[in-house]
Chains A and B, each alone.
Chain A
Amino acid sequence: MLEIKNLTKIFSPRQGPAISSVSFEVKNGEIVGFVGLNGAGKTTTIRIAVGVSLPTAGTAIIDGHDITNEKPEASKSIGWVPEIPNYEPNAKAWTMMQYLAGFYGINRTEAKKQAKELLSSVGLSGFENRKLRTYSQGMKKRFSLAVSLISNPQNFLFDEVLNGLDPEGIHFFRELMLAQRKLGKAILLSSHILTEIENLADRVVFIHRGKLIKTATRDELASYAGHGGVLRIVLQNVTDDAVAYLKTLGGSIQVEGNSVILSNFQGDSSQVNAELVKRGFSVQEIKHEKSGLEEYFFELIHKTEAANR
């Protein structure tokens, strides 16, 4: 379990805090999405949580261990895959894995065995003896993932791991996260690919300008999706009667040729279709585009910006 407690980080007093009093938790068996614009503070939060950066205030508790004061113990339970993995470029994957395994008290023989298995499990078989500087970005992420799995940690922090991956790589990481969740691991996933967060996360933590602005559960997101959306209707002829009827459904309406677009539509599209047919209108197409995480996210940001004005 991962607890972020009132984390504040000030890099420079002139610039103000990069993150301010950020608090949330990731429970075991849970994937928490971590969403925010560039510079919102996601990476800063994660770097503090894994112990590579120091907090100005607050701390992160990893399975009961304070990352600031009990770092060696806390770090044992962390698997971290950074956005841009940065390892000794001239080291070979094989030797680097064994070197890092030593920090977890894994003996030489076991380290060799694990290195082989883990590199194989992330699809790097045959590349073990290549220097890391020759690895592509995707390979480095796979290698970083293999490293993060060395100690079979209870908590994973994935920082923009899906960036720069090919579809196969994204699929691989997705399946791995789902498998780890099944094993009861706590996973924090930061990503700009919101559809992936939407599909994977049990909860989503939204951060904006260094402040946590919302934590939404999957149910809340589903509820939001059910309450809003865009209804596109293509009629053979758009008449005033048809427009008058559609206006009664609420939301704003826009007519473009034979198409009528209803924004913020919260009803049942099949009932609308049935009513239009009943009223004698020829419906050529009706499409309900439900609101997703992206809309939710931007709405949250707009609300936050408006509140700050």
Chain B
Amino acid sequence: MIIRPFLYDLKRTITSKSVLILTIITLLISLTIIPLTGINSSFPGFSESNILYYRDNTGYHFLAYSANQFGEPVSGTSVGITLTPTPPAGTMNYTQTARTNNTGLAFLTLNAPNATYYVAISTTTGGGVGKSSFPLRSWPMGHVELISGRPMATVVDRTNAAKRDIQVFYAAPFGAVPLGYSLYYKVVNSFSSFYGNQSEMTFLGNLTGYHQIFDPPLPNNLNETSQVFFGLFKPNNSTALYTSQFAGFELRQPQTRINGTNIATFFFSTILSFFMPLVAIIGSYTSYGKDRLTGVLESVLARPVSRRGLAISRFFSTIVAVGIAGVASVGLVDLILHSVSGTFLPQDFTLAIMAALLVEVAAFTGLVFLLSHVVKSTGALLGIMIGLFVVLDFFWTLIILLLTSLLGGTLGSEVSLQAAILSYFANPAQFITLVNAYLFQSTSGIPIQTSNFGLTLPALVLDGVLWAAVPFAIFLYLAVNRD
């Protein structure tokens, strides 16, 4: 009989406005991790958009490629080309607009006669509008000329935001796909120039389309002056394109790889562990405290449900509801970090954080439920819990300082570390910090042997179990045995 009320209360708790709002807020808070990754998700400016053209008997043909910072195609970018004849060729303008397809390409043909023109380029995406205009250089029929962007450019590595890859955007004569064209590179450990030929370079790969991204396997011993030169060669091994050098450290792998775990640790122990107690307090107040103290709970208690059953179902449904917000937040953070670093957080770390979050949620939920049977008004309940939250979340550092001075230590001393860890044991709001300290054997950035400070796995588990179970057990006793 306990399942039905449990499911009812679970639904009721999850769908209550305050819990929904808090869940959304928790998820939004998770997004604050984005600035911590240092990634700019905006698209490159239009001056970096790649547009090339060639001329044949039918007119002028333009090929545009729109990409994001990773060099990945962006569809829907509007590209407008206007050719204005320069006197004395005539006065008629030729204009066409197209949108990039799902491969990021847009093809435009202007049936303009061979003449001298002034070209105006307009590109529009969700990021804004870019405009440029300049005289169009005349080339022989079939010659391909890049009029915007660079044929070889660096883009952000999808799996390592600190690293850059090489993007090639190129078309063979008459706009043909440059099949058989091959890219070579050469590392030079100085600022000197390199004018070698294909035989002196290392093969990187063949082009299979208009645009392609290459990740050169560079050696790890590059110095600060190392340069990397790239060359694009035609199928007949003649030079198609020769580019200037790139700084080696930009392309070197790995550079300062984004450490998702470090960012996550910081986020979980400071931001999320700060908000979760508040979410648990408000969720518990909504699902039980308020109903209990205003007498609304009696309208449910009069139904065929035992006092124990109702108490357990309300408690666990609250934990599930608030826990979902916490777990979803951890999941979202993991996804965000994955999108940046290319790897998910270590599974044991994620599970430990989720368990620690659940301990925090269970402890604060238990405290609210317990106090609902001790105090006589909703005001008193909220007042005490907010006070507790402020002390445990805001002023805990002061308590650590006090504890440190009582133990005769100074900041940064071993005594201070001992005081900090002891205080974490005594504070459910700091349980995540305690778990992080154990996992990474460090606290406040100071490496420690946690077992020397009493922070062992059994102690950690015992503390978690006590915080999760003791407030709940006392609450259950009061709920079953007291009005």
Whole-angstrom CA separation of A87 from B295 in the bound complex: 8
Q: Which residue of B lies closest to A70 (CB)?
A: B306
Given A87-B299, A99-B8, A103-B5, A54 and B482 touching (CB < 8 A)? yes
A102 contacts B4, CB within 8 Å? yes
How many positions in chain A have a CB within 8 Å of any CB in the partner chain?
Answer: 26
Interface string of A43-83 (1 = CB under 8 A from B): 00000001111100000000000000001110110101010
Whole-angstrom CA separation of A76 from B305 in the bound complex: 9
The reply on A245 being an interface residue by CB < 8 A is: no
Given A54-B481, A54-B483, A100-B299, A75 and B304 touching (CB < 8 A)? yes
B8 contacts A104, CB within 8 Å? no
How many positions in chain B have a CB within 8 Å of any CB in the partner chain?
Answer: 23
The reply on A105 being an interface residue by CB < 8 A is: yes
The reply on A88 being an interface residue by CB < 8 A is: yes
A103 contacts B303, CB within 8 Å? yes
State the main secondary structure of chain B at its contact with A.
Answer: helix
A51 contacts B4, CB within 8 Å? no
A72 contacts B295, CB within 8 Å? no
The reply on B300 being an interface residue by CB < 8 A is: yes
The reply on A85 being an interface residue by CB < 8 A is: yes
Q: B307 to chain A: which residues have CB within 8 Å? A: 71
Whole-angstrom CA separation of A72 from B4 in the bound complex: 13
The reply on B302 being an interface residue by CB < 8 A is: yes
Q: Which residue of A lies closest to B291 (CB)?
A: A88
Q: B304 to chain A: which residues have CB within 8 Å? A: 71-73, 75-76, 103-104, 151
Whole-angstrom CA separation of A89 from B305 in the bound complex: 21
The reply on A86 being an interface residue by CB < 8 A is: yes
The reply on B96 being an interface residue by CB < 8 A is: no
Q: A99 to chain B: which residues have CB within 8 Å? A: 8, 12
B296 contacts A75, CB within 8 Å? no
A87 contacts B296, CB within 8 Å? yes
Q: A73 to chain B: which residues have CB within 8 Å? A: 304
Q: Which residue of B lies closest to A68 (CB)?
A: B307
Interface string of B287-319 (1 = CB under 8 A from A): 000010011101111111111010000000000
Q: A85 to chain B: which residues have CB within 8 Å? A: 299
Interface string of B1-29 (1 = CB under 8 A from A): 10011001000100000000000000000
Distance (Å) between the CB of A91 and the closest chain B CB? Answer: 9
Whole-angstrom CA separation of A151 from B483 in the bound complex: 25
Distance (Å) between the CB of B340 and the closest chain A CB? Answer: 42
Q: B294 to chain A: which residues have CB within 8 Å? A: 86
Q: Which residue of B lies closest to A73 (CB)?
A: B304
A72 contacts B305, CB within 8 Å? yes
B305 contacts A103, CB within 8 Å? yes
Q: Which residue of B lies closest to A147 (CB)?
A: B299
Q: A52 to chain B: which residues have CB within 8 Å? A: 298, 301-302
A75 contacts B299, CB within 8 Å? no
Q: B1 to chain A: which residues have CB within 8 Å? A: 72
Q: A103 to chain B: which residues have CB within 8 Å? A: 4-5, 8, 300, 303-305
Q: Which residue of A lies closest to B481 (CB)?
A: A54
A102 contacts B8, CB within 8 Å? yes
B305 contacts A105, CB within 8 Å? no
Whole-angstrom CA separation of A78 from B5 in the bound complex: 18
Whole-angstrom CA separation of A85 from B296 in the bound complex: 9
Distance (Å) between the CB of B66 and the closest chain A CB? Answer: 50
Q: Which residue of A lies closest to B307 (CB)?
A: A71
From A50, A86, A100, A147, contact of B295 by CB (8 A): A86
Distance (Å) between the CB of A105 and the closest chain B CB? Answer: 7
Distance (Å) between the CB of A19 and the closest chain B CB? Answer: 14
Q: Which residue of B lies closest to A89 (CB)?
A: B296
From A71, A82, A147, contact of B306 by CB (8 A): A71
Choose among A73, A75, A78 the residue with the greatest number of B CB atoms under 10 Å from its CB.
A75
Q: A80 to chain B: which residues have CB within 8 Å? A: 302
Which residues between 136 and 186 of chain A lie within 8 Å of chain B, taking CB atoms?
A: 147, 151
Give me 8 A-to-B residue pairs in the complex whose CB atoms sit less than 8 angstroms apart, sorted by A's number.
A52-B301, A72-B304, A75-B304, A86-B299, A99-B8, A102-B8, A103-B5, A103-B300
Query: In the complex, given contacts A54-B483, A72-B1, A72-B306, what are 16 additional A-B residue pairs having Cβ atoms less than 8 angstroms apart?
Result: A50-B302, A52-B302, A54-B481, A71-B304, A71-B306, A75-B303, A80-B302, A86-B296, A86-B298, A86-B299, A88-B296, A89-B296, A99-B8, A102-B4, A102-B5, A103-B305
Q: Which residues of A contact B (CB under 8 A)?
A: 50-54, 71-73, 75-76, 78, 80, 82, 85-89, 99-100, 102-105, 147, 151
